[in-house]
């Protein structure tokens, strides 16, 4: 599936309606982190929110073949191994890859 701005906007609208919020890029990463961590929506500290956003990012890069899962750490957080270096990609290309992966993720989940 190729990334299209229209698909991104449609998905943002769908998620916004479902969760009754104005969804944006970081909110979607946060939701993916919650889903993948399996903790449900509870009150999180700022640090926990950042960790969940990072988890969402890692899950999406795994989906696109940049990372591989390699278990969990002592606190039960998923851990990943880098398969392809992201530093070689421009920030705009990384964002495009993440947006496409989010569209695919939420198409499957919603």
pLDDT one-digit tens code per residue, 18-75: 999 999 999 999 999 999 999 888 899 999 999 999 999 999 999 999 999 999 999 9
Q: Does the structure show a pLDDT above 80 at 94?
A: yes
Instruction: Tell me the angle at which helices 91-109 and 5-19 cross, rounded to the nearest 10 degrees.
Output: 50
Which of 83, 84, 79 shows the shortest CA–CA distance to 69?
79
How many helices (H) and strands (E) the chain has is answered by: 4, 2
- 3-class DSSP state for residue 81? strand
pLDDT band at residue 110, thresholds of 50, 70 and 90? confident
Q: Does the structure show a pLDDT above 90 at 3?
A: no
Q: Does the structure show a pLDDT above 70 at 1?
A: no
Alpha-carbon dihedral sign for residues 90, 97, 37, 70: negative
């Amino acid at each position: 599936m190729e990334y299209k701005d229209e698909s991104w906007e449609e998905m943002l609208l769908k998620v916004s309606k479902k969760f009754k919020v104005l969804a944006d890029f970081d909110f979607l990463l946060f939701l993916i982190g919650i889903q993948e961590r399996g903790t449900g929506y509870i009150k999180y500290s700022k640090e926990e929110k950042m960790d969940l956003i990072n988890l969402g990012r890692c899950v999406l890069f795994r989906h696109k073949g940049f990372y591989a899962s390699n278990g969990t750490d002592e606190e039960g957080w998923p851990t990943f191994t880098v398969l392809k270096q992201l530093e070689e990609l421009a920030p705009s290309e990384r964002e495009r890859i993440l947006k496409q992966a989010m569209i695919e993720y939420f198409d499957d989940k919603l």
